[in-house]
Amino acid sequence: MKEEEVKQLFIDTGAILEGHFLLTSGLHSPQYVEKFQVLQYPEHTAKLCKALAERFVQDQVELVIGPVTGGILLAHEVGKNLGTRAIFTERENGKMTLRRGFVIQPGERVLIVEDIITTGGSVQEVLDVVREHGGIPVGVGILVDRSGGKVDFGVPHQALLHLDVQTYQSEDCPSCAQNLPITKRGSRKL
């Protein structure tokens, strides 16, 4: 899948929103990507995850893992395409962890998948979990990279779509300076 096709899919499903948003990272942005507008369509999810899997097919992936919530769907579909198990991490007492009896075998080659990154914080937490359990991170597959190329996970990473979106601390946010109402989307409590 070419990047232009991915972007058009997000546009066609109404997943790219304009306004004043509080991101999971705590930053403010004039643009938000509501991935579930795309992921609500199984055929779109399957197509996107197949494209992600194709980017890592040569990496001998043995396990695919993603953070709850969007990462569950992605891990499942990418794992299906790579013929591997698929698991997910969850927060317990504020810390990303494995639950539900999930195990990462020592030396197991693990692909981390994530829906959208801005700062890469959730992916870094999943990488930490993989390493704590003795897994070998071989890469990170991302639907949308909003970081502007600023994130380095220390392993190869591939994104299907790159968006150059401005983000601001609240004190530097032009929308805040104009007293525009802010919308909080996403799932993590700040």
Task: Confirm whether 87 is domain-assigned.
Answer: yes
φ/ψ (deg, to 5) at 127 = -55, -40
Annotated binding residue 59: no
Annotated binding residue 117: yes
Question: Which residues 6+ apart lie within 8 Å of 51 measured at CB?
Answer: 1, 6, 160
pTM score of the predicted model: 0.88
What is the span of the domain harbouring residue 29? 3-184
| 3-10 mean pLDDT | 96
Annotated binding residue 119: yes
The token duo for 157 is 């990473």
Helices 3-12 and 42-54, interaxial angle, to 10°? 160
Instruction: Give the three-class secondary structure for 168.
Output: strand
Task: Confirm whether 190 is domain-assigned.
Answer: no
Annotated binding residue 118: yes
Total number of domains in the chain = 1
Q: To the nearest whole percent, how much of the chain has pLDDT over 90? A: 84
Q: The CATH number of the domain where 69 resides is what?
A: 3.40.50.2020
Task: Confirm whether 26 is domain-assigned.
Answer: yes
State the amino acid at position 113 in one-letter form.
V
Annotated binding residue 16: no
pLDDT at 190: 39
Task: Confirm whether 156 is domain-assigned.
Answer: yes
Annotated binding residue 128: no
- For 39-49, the pLDDT digits (tens) are 999 999 999 99
Instruction: Give the three-class secondary structure for 47.
Output: helix
Annotated binding residue 89: no
